[in-house]
Amino acid sequence: MVDGAAFETRSQHAQLATAEPESRVPRILVDGLWPRGVSRKTARIDEWARDLAPSTRLRQWFGHDPARWPEFQKRYRAELRTRSDRLAWLAGLARRGRITLVYAARDTDHNNARALQRLIAKRLRPRAPRGRDTGR
Q: Is the dihedral of CA 33, 119, 101, 48 positive or negative?
A: negative
Supply the pTM of this predicted model.
0.77
Closest to 108 (Cα-Cα) out of 8, 37, 16, 13: 13
pLDDT of amino acid 7: 44
pLDDT in tens, 70-122: 999 999 999 999 999 999 999 999 998 888 898 888 888 999 999 999 999 88
Is the model's pLDDT at 8 over the cut of 60?
no
Q: In this predicted model, what pLDDT tens digit does every residue of 24-78 receive, in sequence order?
A: 788 899 999 998 888 888 888 899 999 999 999 999 999 999 999 999 999 999 9
Work out the number of other CB atoms within 10 angstroms of the CB of residue 128: 5
Separation of alpha carbons 45 and 83, rounded Å = 21
Count of helices and strands (H, E) across the chain: 5, 4
pLDDT at 58: 97
Question: Residue 29 forms beta bridges with which residues?
Answer: 48, 102
pLDDT of residue 6: 39
